[in-house]
Amino acid sequence: MRNTLLFKTKFRKIIDAFWLREDILETIPDCECEYLDTNFRILSVSSETLFSENELKPVFELYKTEFSLVEAYISKTVLQHSSHIVSR
SS3 30: coil
52-70 residue pLDDT tens: 899 999 999 999 989 999 9
Q: Characterise 56 by phi-psi region: left (phi > 0), alpha (psi -120 to 50), beta (else).
A: alpha
> What domains are there in the chain, each with its CATH number?
3-80 (3.30.70.100)
Predicted local distance difference test score (pLDDT) of residue 23: 97
| 34 alpha carbon, distance to own chain's centre | 9
Burial 3-12 (b: 16+ CB within 10 A, else e): bbbbbebebe
Predicted local distance difference test score (pLDDT) of residue 82: 38
Predicted local distance difference test score (pLDDT) of residue 75: 67
The sign one gets for the Cα dihedral 72, 76, 78, 79 is negative
In the predicted model, what is the mean pLDDT of residues 12-34? 94
Helices 53-62, 15-27: crossing angle, 10 deg rounding:
140
